Structure 1
Amino acid sequence: MSFFKSALHKYIAIIIFLIAWQILPTLGLVNQIFVPTPTAILAEMWRLSADGTLQFNAIISLWRVFAGFGIALLVALPLGFLLGGFFKNFEKAVNPLLQLLSQANPFTLFPIFIVFLGIGELSKISIIYWVTQWPILLNTITGISNVDPVLVKMAKSSGLSKAAIFTKVLIPASLPTVFTGIRMGAVFAFFMLIGAEMLGSTSGLGHMIMQAQMVMQIPKMWAGIVTVALLGYLVNYVILYLERRVSTWKQDVEV
C-alpha cells in the first residue's frame, strides 16, 4: 500500500491528464480525427510494433541520437573541465564566442550542414552533436568554475596536488551542474533529431511522423510522437539514475 500511494502521488498528474485525454475526444469535445484517444494511439503503436515499423524507425533514431550525443560527451566534457579548471583566463576570453555560437538556431544551420556533409547520416549526426555540445560544455565550465573556493583551499592545505584536487574536489563538486547540462543535451538531441529527420531523411521516427502527417494517418503520427516522448523520458531517467549513483556524497549531505 505504501508503494502504491507513493507511485500514485508521483504520477497523479499524468494519470489525470491521460484520463482527461481519453474522455474529451470520446465525448466529442475534441475532434478525434486530429487528437485520437490514448487507447487508439496505443492500438496503433501495437499494430506498428507487430509489423516491425515502430522498432525499425526507433532503432534508427536512437542510433542517430546516441551517436551525436556520445560524440558531444566525448568532446564537451573534457573541454569543459579543462577550460573551467586549468585555463580560466583562456575560458574568459573565448566565453563570449561560445555563448554566441550556442545561440545560433540549429534549424537555420541545417542547410549548411547538408551542403557540406550531404543529406546522409553524417549531416544528421553532426547537427545533433552541434546542438548537444553547448549545454554540456557551458554547464561543465560553470560547474567547475563555481566550486566553493573554500573546498579548494582546504584541499591545498592538505597537501593535495593539482591533479588530485581536480579529480577529488573539482569534479565531484561540479557533477550536479554537469549532469544538468547532460540532461539538457539529451533533450536537445531528441528535439533536433526529429527536425533533422523531417527535413532530410527516408527513415526514423521524425520521417515516420512527417509522412503520416502528409497522408493524414493521424494515429500513426501520434504513435510516433508518443514514442519519441517515451524514449526521451527513458533517456532522462537513465541519466538521473547515473547522477544519483555518482553523486552519493550529495545525497549524504542532504540527509
Structure 2
Amino acid sequence: MPSLNPTWAIFIPTPTTIAETIWSLILSGELITDIWVSMWRVLIAFALSLIVGLSLGFLLGGFFRSAEKALSPLLDMISQANPFTLLPVFIAFLGIGEVSKIVFIYFVSQWPVLFNTIVGITNVDPVLVKLGKATGLSKFQMFSKVLLPASLPTVFTGIRMAAVFSLFMLIGAEMLGSTAGLGYLVMQAEGVMNYPVMYSAIVVVALFGIIFNYAIVLVERRLTSWKEDVNF
C-alpha cells in the first residue's frame, strides 16, 4: 500500500525501506548497542521471575497448600494492579537507573510463572498422586518423580506468558525513562517523526519476541518429550 501512495509511505515505510534502515542502523552500531542494552535488561528480569515464580509456586502448590489458600487473595490483588501506575513508585524508591527497570519488568512477568506453577501442581491427576503414595515415595520423590513432570506443560505456559510480558514491559519502561534500548529508540524516532527508524525498532522487537518464544518451546519439548501430541 505505501508503494501505491507516496503520502502513506511517509507514515508507513515499505518493507524494503525498513530492511535498509535496519541494515544502516547495524552498520552505524546504534542498533547493536540498543539491542544489547534491552536484551540484558529483559534477560535479567526474566531470570529473576523464573527463580522467584517457580520456587514460590512449587512451594505453595506442592508443600504449603494451606499457606497458598491464605495468600491467594492477596497475591491476586497485587497481580491485578496496573503496572504502569506502579512504575513511578519503582522509580521513586529505586531511582531512574537500571535497577528500577529490571525490578519493574520482573514484577510484572513473575505472576504468570507463579500462578501457572501453582495451578500445574494442584491440578496433577490424583490417580498419579495416589499411585506414588502407594509405592512408598517420600515427599521429595513425590515432587521430583510425579508432581514436577506432570505439571511441566502448565508451568511452561506461564513461562511463555512471562516472556511476552517481559518484552512488553521492557519497551514500556524504556519509553518512560531511559537513555538507551529499543524502547528508547522507538520513542526518540517517533518524537522526530523518523518513521523508518521507529518501524525498524518495532520489527526488531517482534523478531526477538519470536526467537525468545521459540527457544522456550524447544526447551519445553525436550523436557516434556513424554507428552503425546493430540491429532484428529
With the shorter chain as reference, the TM-score category is over 0.9
> Which string of whole-angstrom CA distances, capped at 9 and with x for unpartnered residues, describes residues 5-48 of structure 1?
xxxxxxxxxxxxxxxxxxx1112298111111111101100000
> Which string of whole-angstrom CA distances, capped at 9 and with x for unpartnered residues, describes residues 129-151 of structure 1?
00010000000000000001110
In the alignment, does 2:124 pair up with 1:179? no
TM-score, normalised to structure 2's length?
0.97
Moved over 4 A (4+): none
Aligned residues: 231
TM-score, normalised to structure 1's length?
0.88
Higher relative contact order (CA 8 A, sep 6+): 2
Give the letter aligned to residue 146 of structure 1.
N
State the alpha-carbon separation in 2 of the partners of residues 177 and 111 from structure 1: 33
Identify the residue that residue 189 of structure 2 maps to in structure 1. Answer: 212
Identify the residue that residue 117 of structure 2 maps to in structure 1. Answer: 140
Give the letter aligned to residue 237 of structure 1.
Y
State the alpha-carbon separation in 1 of the partners of residues 145 and 190 from structure 2: 52
> Which string of whole-angstrom CA distances, capped at 9 and with x for unpartnered residues, describes residues 88-138 of structure 1?
111011111111111111100000000000000000000000001000000
State the alpha-carbon separation in 1 of the partners of residues 65 and 5 from structure 2: 60
Identity %: 59
Structure-2 change in CA distance of 1:50 and 1:154 (3 Å) = same
* 3-state SS of paired residue (1:159): coil
Structure 1 residue 254: deviation in Å? Answer: 5.0
Structure-2 change in CA distance of 1:85 and 1:31 (3 Å) = same
Aligned pairs for 1:5-16 within 5 A: none
In the alignment, does 2:25 pair up with 1:59? no
User: Any unmatched runs of 5+ in structure 1?
Assistant: 1-23
In the alignment, does 2:77 pair up with 1:104? no
Q: 237, 249, 254: which is aligned to 2:214? A: 237
Give the letter aligned to residue 61 of structure 1.
S
User: Any unmatched runs of 5+ in structure 2?
Assistant: none
